[in-house]
């Protein structure tokens, strides 16, 4: 019998000068970057939380705590690979993912394709299983004031049991 599980994830990181901006594993040239213990890839973090949430496995803070120096400056794609192994070990696979980044600047449209390719190849998915979208916040709220960038993700997992 084919079974499905759905998960959702959300994350936000502060913008600061002197930090790289990495979204979906792609370095984006910008005068501000995201603050965080790891590389602060807010999109990849939201996707991981959606994958873990689908199986009620908690959140990434549980698996990669910011108090642990092993994850300092960590490449979030490496953590994403580990989360994928976690769900595969339990017999589940990703059906599809959809996500949205909320950022006032920079323009993300030119980078969406590269993010899709990087994330889908990291997860061994076809790019058409990996939705990445971006929107501004119409200058409203922390994202609109360029204090931070947030991301939302949903994932559908399937398993044959
Ligand atoms: Mg995070």
- What residue ranges do the domains of the chain occupy? 4-159
Using one digit for the tens of pLDDT, what is the confidence trace for 75-119?
A: 999 999 999 999 999 999 999 999 999 999 999 999 999 999 999
pLDDT at residue number 72: 86
Ligand 1: centre distance to CA 118 (Å): 18
Cα–Cα distances in angstroms (integers) from residue 119 to residues 1, 10, 15, 65, 81, in the given order: 29, 17, 22, 22, 10
| Topology (CATH) of 4-159 | 60s Ribosomal Protein L30; Chain: A; (3.30.1330)
Q: What is the pLDDT of residues 22-62, one digit of tens each?
A: 999 999 999 999 999 999 999 999 999 999 999 999 999 99
CA of 112 to the centre of ligand 1 (A): 19
- 87 by Cβ neighbours in 10 Å (0-12 / 13-18 / 19+) ranks as buried
Say whether pLDDT at 161 is over 80. Answer: no
Total Cβ atoms within 10 A of residue 129: 18
Cα 161 to middle of ligand 1, angstroms:
33
Spacing, Cα 27 to ligand 1 middle (Å) = 16
Measure 92 CA to ligand 1 centroid, in angstroms: 24
Query: pTM for the whole thing?
Result: 0.97
Distance 125 CA to ligand 1 centre (A): 23
CA distances from 123 to 42, 78, 88, 117 (A): 17, 10, 11, 10
């Amino acid at each position: 019998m084919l079974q499905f599980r759905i998960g959702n994830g959300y994350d936000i990181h502060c913008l600061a000068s002197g930090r790289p901006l990495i979204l979906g594993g792609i370095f984006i040239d910008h005068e501000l970057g995201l603050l965080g213990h790891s590389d602060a890839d807010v999109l990849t973090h939201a996707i991981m939380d959606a994958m873990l949430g689908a199986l009620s496995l908690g959140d990434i803070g549980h698996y990669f705590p910011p108090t642990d120096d092993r994850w300092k400056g960590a490449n979030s794609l490496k953590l994403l690979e580990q989360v994928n192994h976690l769900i595969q070990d339990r017999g589940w696979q990703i059906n599809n993912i959809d996500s949205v980044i909320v950022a006032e600047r920079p323009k993300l449209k030119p980078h969406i394709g590269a993010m899709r390719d990087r994330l889908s190849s990291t997860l061994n998915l076809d790019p058409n299983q990996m939705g990445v979208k971006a929107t501004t916040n119409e200058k409203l709220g922390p994202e609109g004031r360029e204090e931070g960038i947030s991301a939302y993700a949903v994932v559908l997992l399937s398993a044959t049991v």
